[in-house]
Amino acid sequence: MNAASSTTERWRSLVVFLTMGATIAAAIVAGLQADAGIRSQVANRESQVNALLASGEIFRQGIRSDYDLGTLADLTKEMQDSLSLEITGLEQEASGDLDSAALARQRAEVLRARVERARGLSYFYTDPAHAPSEPDALPNLEGYVEASAAEANRLVELQNEQADEYQRWSRKGDSYVAVLALLAVALFLFGLAQAASIRTRRTFTVFGSIVLAVSILWALTILLA
């Protein structure tokens, strides 16, 4: 009888110890789940902020590009008109129409002055990174497009990274919830073990221990992922 009582007491102590361990494990997993939830919300917020910044940057750069390219188009047209008037003036001078030739050259000089003034105000001619290497050459349009899209691309890349981070922490949080459910099952089995007879207590204790071990291993896997 004493041996049976001693065995019963040992199993009861084991159940109490396992119950405490499962309770502590549940508290830790709950803390990890809360941390994952906070991190996922922060990542989601940052993703939305970067998405808004990227949209604003694309809108801003679109307005600027319209102005810069429009200015370049007007400047190029006036350069072509100036050259055409100079050629016309030479032809009129060769044919003896000196007055018309002088008028054409005068108009060409006005256009050249407007071109020089526009160059001083144009981003394509004031920025050394995009300015043409020769007076009559075109600016570096390819470099301009790349530079214009650089900031928007950077913000989009950050937004994608934060979105991936949000998904990662969100999956972790969901997995921790599943682990908590398993720990609840383990605690339920340990509770049944305390109220059951010695033979049934062993069965509940063994199954509860297996569930507890699986829960802890799963939680470690999620934590290290």
**Residues sharing a CB contact under 8 Å with residue 122, sequence separation 6 or more, in sequence order:** 68, 71, 72, 75
**Residues sharing a CB contact under 8 Å with residue 14, sequence separation 6 or more, in sequence order:** 205
Instruction: Match 């032809």 to its residue by tokens.
Output: 91
Question: Domains in the chain, please, with CATH?
Answer: 2-224 (1.10.287.2610)
pLDDT at 26: 93
Tell me which residue of 31, 35, 55 sits closest to 43, measured CA to CA: 35
How far apart are alpha carbons 67 and 72 in whole angstroms? 9
111 vs 62, higher pLDDT: 62
Tell me which residue of 138, 155, 153 sits closest to 69, measured CA to CA: 138
Tell me which residue of 174, 179, 201, 175 sits closest to 190, measured CA to CA: 201
pLDDT at 4: 55
pLDDT at 135: 64
Least confident of 56-70, 109-123, 197-211: 109-123
Helix 2-94 vs helix 198-224: angle between axes, to the nearest 10 degrees? 20
How far apart are alpha carbons 159 and 109 in whole angstroms? 52
pLDDT digits (tens, 9 = 90+) for 140-165: 777 888 888 888 899 999 999 999 99
